[in-house]
Structure 1
Amino acid sequence: MVESWVDSMETLFEDLYTSVSRPSAADVLYINYFPDSEKKKLQEKFRKLKQENRSVGEYEQEFSYIIDCIPDVVRDDRDRADWFERGLRSDIYRVVHILKLTTFAEVLDRPLWAEHGNAHIREEREAFERDGGKKRAQDGSGSRSRSKKPPKYPRAQSQSRGTWQCVICGGNHDPNHCEQKEERCFTCCKISNLDDIS
């Protein structure tokens, strides 16, 4: 009886020891093979990172890449959300900031929607200007406006190939048919677990 208790206690302490003090393989590689000079460069790049003329998806990719390389640059999910929000382009930042979002998943989702709305408004304005101020007929044919000048920001439709470029997720489909429009999880495409992400 005593021997089984001692064995179970040893197993318990081994489990505690390995889960608390043993770094992961990624941590070991990061600590040993990622030079401090590169860490400092990435930290400085992170502090200055802005969306500028990129799409929200492109900005998020670079943002997440830096955090993956130097995870201690943000304290927690709230800090990550704050840094991401501060780097957004001003037209999107104004829309998102008033919502007082607290999780990174929310702060990523809402700018995607704002960007989609901005693209729609821009297309309508360009169509109005192209038609000389005349109201466009709402025939429901799905025709999209074409402007001779290049777009200021990425458009909903790729003009060179005639295929759709979704402004919500970046996929090759119409933004009106995007699964993310239904507030699905980017990872597993389920609707139910968005609230579980933190």
Structure 2
Amino acid sequence: MTGSAFFETAGASRLTVLAGPTAVGKGTVAAAIRAHYPEVWISVSATTRPPRPGEVLGTHYWFVDDAEFDHMVETGELLEWAVVHGVHRYGTPRRAVLEALEAGRPALLEIDLQGARQVRDTMPEAMFVFLAPPHWDELVRRLVGRGTESAEEQARRLDTARRELAAEREFDVTIVNTDVPTAAAELVSLMYSHTTAPEA
């Protein structure tokens, strides 16, 4: 049975939230799912940070300025939002998530730890998945190796990552991102196994 056929027969989907420490590869795993599992709907976050090389508006993020983000917060358009690394804001547009769930599509949020905690408060029936690095040295290598942040930004992100790793116990399940295709397949398999929300 294909993924699409599975979800068509399984009924309404259960929201899955993927979070983890900075530089663990959440975005890369989400991109692999987008490329290889098109039946999975993946939320596109809004952010006030500038695009990195290769990032596309509406595919990777909705890039907005501070005024537009303020408006989204004030009008309740965001399911969750947070200031990440003490600098830029990120948030999940609410309407698109609800529409995907109402349509019965498997829905994935790839967000930071602060956002995951907010979603747990409002949608505790979701499945919360923690993406972990194989070990600390690998996390440092990934962050420094991608070369997209200054030394000051790298130090700030590593400090954040140390605190974020301690939050693993708050999640329902952990996936270790040893390699991206395996982590993506494991996450989609979990989504197949937890399609509907548990009954109250």
TM-score under structure 1 length normalisation: 0.22
When Rg is computed on C-alpha atoms for both structures, the one with the higher figure is 1
Which protein is richer in strand relative to its size? Answer: 2
TM-score under structure 2 length normalisation: 0.22
Higher relative contact order (CA 8 A, sep 6+): 2
Which protein is richer in helix relative to its size? Answer: 1
